[in-house]
């Protein structure tokens, strides 16, 4: 486990978020979007993901911690770091995520546990550890699931189960932690994190919205759901960000 050492004032005047899966893709986009919007962010991801280097330009408003988000002790340390560094915790964004595509006959129990631990159990651990600070801040949790919670491709049993579990965990937490803490879920569809310009025209046109998703689409939705003034009457919801694909009826010709 590695954590940044930069010191800051005892209590930040700005809101503070803890973001898992912050080293790349959607998680990184969320962390950077919040920083740009004036938040302080504790970025959390696996070892050897170069978190400290990635967020070096935000030294005064960020902290980093490397470790497994499914490890109870490291989750506890991550919450402690956020509170020590900034003096408060207003939001948790659970975006740690892995996917294994394996035929069912080859999906081992270890594979199953690895995906569910990373995608689902880590969120439970974060919510449990952060709840006291979030209650004090009248804060919010946003989980990042997937449209695969509601629809599937072949050989994605562990991923679909973990994301479906996140949707259910979200509304359970919303009831348990309300009214102090709002808890919502964002379910992205096809979001391309690199080489966006290499997509084909048909990739975009199959979406009712006319294009494939970008990480920023998810980040902006997360930021909206964290804002009590803008979304204070929304809790327990699952917001699908998929360009309309899950509402599109498709038949074979």
CB 43 within 8 A of CB 51: yes
Overall number of domains in the chain? 1
Q: Is residue 246 part of a domain?
A: no
For residue 72, tell me if it sits in a domain. yes
CA 156 vs CA 88, 100, 126: distances in Å:
38, 7, 25
Q: Would residue 250 count as lying in a domain?
A: no
Q: How far apart are CA 19 and CA 42, in angstroms?
A: 6
* Residue 116 included in any domain: yes
Q: Which residues are catalytic, by number?
A: 159
* Whole-number pLDDT of residue 193: 87
Find the CATH number of the domain harbouring 184: 3.40.50.720
In a domain, 253, yes or no: no
- Reduced 3-state DSSP string for 31-76: HHHHHHCCCEEEEEECCCCCHHHHCHHHCCCEEEEECCCCCHHHHH
120 secondary structure, DSSP code: I
252 occurs within a structural domain: no
What's the CA gap between 200 and 206, in Å, rounded?
10
Residue 236: the pLDDT is 98
In a domain, 24, yes or no: yes
Answer for the pair 104, 155: CB distance below 8 angstroms, yes or no: yes
Instruction: Give the SS3 label for residue 144.
Output: strand
Domain that residue 109 falls in:
2-241
User: Would 83 be classed as within a structural domain?
Assistant: yes
pTM here is 0.92
Ordered per-residue pLDDT tens for the chain, 253 residues: 666 544 444 577 899 999 999 999 999 999 999 999 999 999 999 999 999 999 999 989 999 999 999 999 999 999 999 999 999 999 999 999 999 999 999 999 999 999 999 999 999 999 999 999 999 999 999 999 999 898 988 999 999 999 999 999 999 999 999 999 999 999 998 899 888 888 888 879 888 888 888 999 999 999 999 999 999 999 999 999 999 888 888 876 6
Question: Which pLDDT belongs to residue 3?
Answer: 60
Residue 22 in contact with residue 44, Cβ under 8 Å? yes
What pLDDT, on a 0 to 100 scale, did the predictor assign at position 213? 85
The radius of gyration of the chain from alpha carbons, rounded to an integer in Å, stands at 18
Q: What is the pLDDT of residue 145?
A: 97
Cβ–Cβ < 8 Å for 159, 148: yes
């Amino acid at each position: 486990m590695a954590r940044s050492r930069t010191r800051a004032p005892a209590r930040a005047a700005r809101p503070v978020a803890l973001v898992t899966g912050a080293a790349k893709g959607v998680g990184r986009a969320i962390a950077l979007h919040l920083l740009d919007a004036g938040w302080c962010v504790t970025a959390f991801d696996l070892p050897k993901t170069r978190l400290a280097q990635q967020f070096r330009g935000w030294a005064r408003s960020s902290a980093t911690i490397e470790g497994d988000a499914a490890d109870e002790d490291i989750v506890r340390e991550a919450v402690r770091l956020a509170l020590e560094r900034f003096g408060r915790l207003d939001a948790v964004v659970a975006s740690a995520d892995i996917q294994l595509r394996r035929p069912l006959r080859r999906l081992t129990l270890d594979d199953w546990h690895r995906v569910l631990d990373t995608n689902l159990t880590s969120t439970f651990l974060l919510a449990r550890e952060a709840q006291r600070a979030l209650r004090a801040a009248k804060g919010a949790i946003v989980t990042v699931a997937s449209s695969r919670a509601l629809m599937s491709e072949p050989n994605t049993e562990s991923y679909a189960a973990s994301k479906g579990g996140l949707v259910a965990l979200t509304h359970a937490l919303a009831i348990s932690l309300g009214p102090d803490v709002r808890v919502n879920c964002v379910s992205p569809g096809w979001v391309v994190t690199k080489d966006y310009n290499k997509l084909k025209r048909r990739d975009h046109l199959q979406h009712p919205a006319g294009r494939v998703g970008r990480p920023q689409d998810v980040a902006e939705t997360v930021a909206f759901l964290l804002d009590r003034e803008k979304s204070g009457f929304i809790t327990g919801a699952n917001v699908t960000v998929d360009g309309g694909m899950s509402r599109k009826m498709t038949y074979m010709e």
